[in-house]
Chain A
Amino acid sequence: MASILKVDTLTGVTTAGSISVTGEGNSTTTNLQQGLAKCWFQIVQDSTHSINDSFNVSSITDAGAGETTVTFSNAMANSDWSGVLTAQSSNNRRAVNNSPNTTRIKVEVYQVSTNTSGADATSGVSGTVQGDLA
């Protein structure tokens, strides 16, 4: 029988911030809070640097050629989160996560053949953030 749970907030019983979810193989559980992306975004580094879509992003700022500062709506608990980025480009771009902190991810995009110069990814940059919310 199908079942539907209507609720605004899920909270663990033993630990408020820890809920187990049974995995696909039906034999292992995974931690819901730890597995959820705390932020994701698809931005375009055009002349104005714009957000196409996002989650937990309050704003972005053009920080220079190839550089976008993406500010979180809800801060992370520490700076030890994982930010995975992909430059969507047909022109040899790659992205790095520079100097993460609790309030933002700084996206930096470079052209492959250039050692130091940033270069905008005009087709966009996709990113996800995994870690602990404050």
Chain B
Amino acid sequence: MASELRVNTLKDAAGNNSIATSFVAGGSAKAWAFTNNTGTTINDSFNISSLGDTDTGKQLLSFTSAMGNANYMSQATANSSQNDWGHAGSITKSTSQCDTTAYDAGGSYADNKMDSCILGDLA
């Protein structure tokens, strides 16, 4: 049977390590993904409904549950064995989608496996 618990603060059984439930909701990642280099496969993810390959080095993540605004924190890192790099939210950053962009060492767009993470407010 489903159950719902309404509480302001969580503590361990000894009464230590107190944390407000607002920190539990606010501090949890609202989406994350590990995608393949061509932007066609989501290896694993949370709150990601689909992945788009928009151009060389450019991928587009769509959220299952929308964010409350576009002011969320977005980060991406190249999952690579060489000097590739990337970032998130530079081209598309909306309540429903966020892009990732990857580059090679010389700064040219390059397909790459990407690790990404979103923190912020859900709608």
Report yes or no: A82 in contact with B78, Cβ–Cβ below 8 A.
no
Q: Which range contains the number of A residues in contact with the other chain?
A: 35 or more
Q: Is there contact, CB below 8 Å, between B82 and A130?
A: no
Number of A-B contacts (CB under 8 A): 154
The answer to whether B76 touches A24, judged by C-beta atoms less than 8 angstroms apart, is no
Give chain B residues whose Cβ lies under 8 Å from the Cβ of A4. Answer: 7-11, 18
B interface, over-half SS: loop
**B30 touching A35, Cβ below 8 Å:** yes
Per CB-CB distance, the 9 closest pairs between chain A and chain B, nearest first, are A35-B28, A23-B122, A80-B44, A130-B32, A24-B121, A110-B83, A82-B115, A34-B46, A80-B43
Q: Contacts A5-B11, A7-B10 given; 10 further ones with Cβ under 8 A?
A: A3-B7, A7-B13, A30-B28, A35-B28, A78-B44, A82-B117, A83-B77, A84-B116, A97-B80, A115-B82
Interface set of A (CB-CB < 8 Å, partner B): 2-8, 10, 13-14, 21-25, 27-28, 30-32, 34-37, 78, 80-86, 94-100, 108, 110, 112, 114-116, 128, 130-132
